Amino acid sequence: MVYSTINPATGEQLLTFDTLSDAELDQSLETAHTAYTHWRRRPVHERAEILKAAAAELRANSVEYARYITLDMGKLIGQSEAEVGLAAAILDYYADRAEKLLAPTELPESPGAVVVTEPIGVIFGIEPWIFPYYQVARVAGPQLIAGNAVVIKHAENVPQCALAFARVMEKAGVPAGVYTNVFATHEQAARVIADPRVAAVTVTGSERAGAAVAEQAGRSLKKVVMELGGSDPLIILEDADLDHAVQTAVFGRMFNTGQSCVGSKRIIVVGKDRGDAALRAFTEQMAELQAGDPMDPTTTLGPVSSERARDLLHEQIELAEKDGATVVVGGARIDRPGFYLEPTVLTGIDAANVAYNTEFFGPVASFYVVDTTEDAIKLANDTPFGLGASVFTADTERGRSVAAQIDSGMVFVNQPAWTAPELPFGGVKRSGFGRELAESGFGEFVNRKLVNVAAAGSGPWGPSPEVAQP
């Protein structure tokens, strides 16, 4: 395994980095474990100040940090800059709420009982290339505030981003070992999961990766949080503003060049006539996207992350066509340097088509037209995934009603799925389990310890008749 930057816009290999030796990895874990024993005792306000400093560093040098994203994985530069800002916002969110999140909770029904929140140890994060700062920040933010230490294995194709985020932590004053980046192999990652110095594991990735990590962690009885794939439906009901819904659907499908677990991958329109009109408009807007240098702010279509990713998408499109799908627009590689694929719209996908349950991780949308709202809900739920979903309607109460019938971790009414520090993020079914962000994400890797104080001489069980005052 090699950690390397291959510029997706040109195909040129820019940098390579060696993986750790087993001895170096062991030393990293020992340093992290030792650092945790000190970090957990650090006053909460000091931990918060350090995270605030990290957020400030990201904002102060956002142009530099954004360039690493675009060079590593090809994201449009404007979206890279937005990701830097989002990562900073997550760090600020947890720093600003540190005292509240860690405050003891009294249990009025049982006088003398209180629940305190404590860290559990070293958290191992396995993170993808898709959003190389945001997805690390949503682990590091809550876990460092909680008093845990974090070891991150990033994806092999975003090494500059991995090193840059580690530098941010160092500049902010995070002690050595409290935040650690490791260029580890898959085999070494399995060793880390099993290591007794590691308390828990979080992973964002494919179903295959998630299943492997869950199996390895299960052998050691360690908690895991998993954010895996998605095939998010975007439903346009018959009363929705069609122009707005279609424009938003294109944004939801093509953000990050369609490389998002929570992207709007399946567009479902209620009503044949509106479906035909929506397909025309959607196809036209997809076709208007122009490939170019992702460093150029005027570019509207960037490359996908790698040659392998582009070729897999092309193969998936061909298999869908072979099974009876129609390629309305796109479907081919773009003849230019780098890893570009035409924005593609597929129709005519039935349940027998391999594409019916395929997660197209790139600029490929599946488009469906159904007769009724009930049909739309049924189609939306007929997937092994359950990450996010969207419903467009002029009647927000109706939107809430439809949302209640969709099997997913998140539903957005009149917007594509999006993310923010204050919104819990996660899915159901094969999209994983557990939550990140908001207070829910903070609570995944902490010990909610019960401390029950009874007056001297109290009975062996039951509430204390008298609790000594501090």
Show which residues are catalytic. Answer: 227, 261
CA angle (351, 359, 429) in 5-degree steps: 80
CA–CA separation, 293 vs 39, rounded Å?
A: 43
Strand ordering across the sheet containing 264-270: 326-329, 344-347, 364-370, 264-270, 232-236, 388-392, 410-413
Q: Are 26 and 180 in contact (CB under 8 A)?
A: no
Can you tell me whether residue 310 is helix, strand or coil? Answer: helix
Q: Are 179 and 205 in contact (CB under 8 A)?
A: no
Q: Are 363 and 324 in contact (CB under 8 A)?
A: no
CB within 8 A of 341, min separation 6: which ones?
A: 304, 310, 313, 314, 330, 332, 333, 334, 362, 363, 364
Strand partners, 201: 124, 224
Can you tell me whether residue 263 is helix, strand or coil? Answer: coil
Q: 247-279 as b/e, with b when 16 or more CB fall inside 10 Å?
A: ebbbebbbbbbbbbbbbbbbbbbbbeebbeebb
CA angle (35, 176, 143) in 5-degree steps: 60
CA–CA separation, 299 vs 289, rounded Å?
A: 8
CA–CA separation, 152 vs 194, rounded Å?
A: 15
Minimal CA–CA distance to 202: which of 455, 460, 442? 442
DSSP 337: S
